[in-house]
Amino acid sequence: MVDNELCFRSAIDLAKDIREKTLSPVEVVQNALCKIEEINPRLNGFCFVYADEAIDRARGAEHDVLTGKLVGPLHGVPFAIKDFTPTSGKRTTLGSKIFEHWVPDYDPPLVDRLLKAGGIMIGKTTTPEFAHSSFTDSPLWGPTRNPWNPSCTAGGSSGGSAVAVATGCVPIAEGSDAGGSIRIPAALTGTVGLKPSFGRIPMGILPSAFDSIFHFGPISRTVSDAGLFLNVTQGPDDRDIMSLPATDPMDLPIEHCAADLRLALCPDQGFFALDSDVEINTQQSAEALRRAGAIVEEVDLGWTRQIVDDWFQHWAVYLAAFFERHLDEWREHMTPEVVRMIEFGQTVKATDFKRLEEARTKQWVKLQQILTNYDALLTATMALPAPPVGGKDSDYDEEDETGRYRGLDMTCPFNFVSQCPVITVPSGFTREGLPTGLQIVGRRYDESTLLKTAATLESINPWIDSRPPVWP
């Protein structure tokens, strides 16, 4: 029998109770495994579950507690890793039949640090092929469904991680984000998703050490758990030449105070066609911050959908550069959208790709002017609530009759200005009961103010007790 109250405890609370010997790591892990067994056949959040290994590690964690050998701030707490991220001795498929049997012989810095902090890796979570999509659906594992409505997608590409957290299987899960792959599924499942400043959490997994849009980050149910994840995993590593120097760990729980916050508001980023419920929930979140004492003022970003098109070109070139060698042999076994993106990426000239830096610079100049005067920018995370399972990103690539962009996710512009940390937090529900998200964009390298802003909204409109329905 699953103890749902235990399932929905925060990582911080679980770790505290384990340290104080009022809760057994074995009990926590066994309960998590039961929850996975309950939800996974319906939602497909996990592609691998390490039940025996997790129980063994939990027993070791319990012995260490009883003998006074606490390992770290995640001692005995279960977590999940996205199946895009290599894990030593464990299959890592990238959602692709090409890599169905690949077993890496190394852990990237993030995985190593989570384990050294005492966390217990309980499984790997589903992702679309090569983490390419806002829909988690792959030729290898099939679709991942939204716990609020299984006929809808959980988002992507960290959709499995979002499901694992939203349903209480684990309090925190790792995601990766090159265009919104943490924030998209977090927003669509009613969870918290953090894209830290570029380089804050070292990568150490990509073919290139000079990438400029990829991030690791957490999906969690609370802002403070996202801060805990960041405390544990941040800091430099020579495997990632772009990694940043360590900062002082944030005090936990994250403090909240709106009185000294100046916030800019641009719900639609200037060009997206927002769903009416998304618009309402974004405005209501901004108003809640005003009532709490923050100054919130609407601004004009001066952006157009060209930013999205430029990001798509960058992403397509990435896929072509690192995966085109598989096309001849594997084309018929690959996601058609991946094939299309690779083929498009092959047509981009080097000079055109270099000019994207000019476009990114112009985008940054406009955002920088706003962040000079404000602590953070507020926008919707997604223009629409979770769309139906079976869709694809290209289904949402047109203008409406007024010229507004009918795009789905509003996240990729902030991968182009990647030094800015960005978090999505729940902003409410649609009339059909689907979650929506508020995206908060911070100043360069300022996770502290960003998390403070998110925690302030969390204190005003707590979402911790909002749980997806449980199906028999």
d(CA 170, CA 123): 10
Q: Which of 10, 24, 35, 82 is catalytic?
A: 82
d(CA 140, CA 127): 10
Let me know if 394 is a catalytic residue.
no
**Among candidate residues 307, 94, 113, the one with its CA nearest the CA of residue 207:** 94
Q: Which of 24, 96, 157, 243 is catalytic?
A: 157
- Give the number of other CB atoms < 10 A from CB of residue 415: 25
d(CA 405, CA 398): 6
DSSP 411-455: -THHHHTTTS-EEEEEEEE-TTS-EEEEEEEESTT-HHHHHHHHH
Residue owning tokens 């957490």 = 218
Q: Which of 181, 224, 243, 427 is catalytic?
A: 181
Let me know if 459 is a catalytic residue.
no
Contacting residues for 431 by C-beta, under 8 A, at least 6 apart? 277
d(CA 100, CA 115): 25
Let me know if 82 is a catalytic residue.
yes
Element at 48 (helix H, strand E):
strand 46-49
Token pair listed for 126: 């589903």
The widest CA-to-CA distance across the chain, in whole angstroms, is: 68
Residues with catalytic function: 82, 157, 181
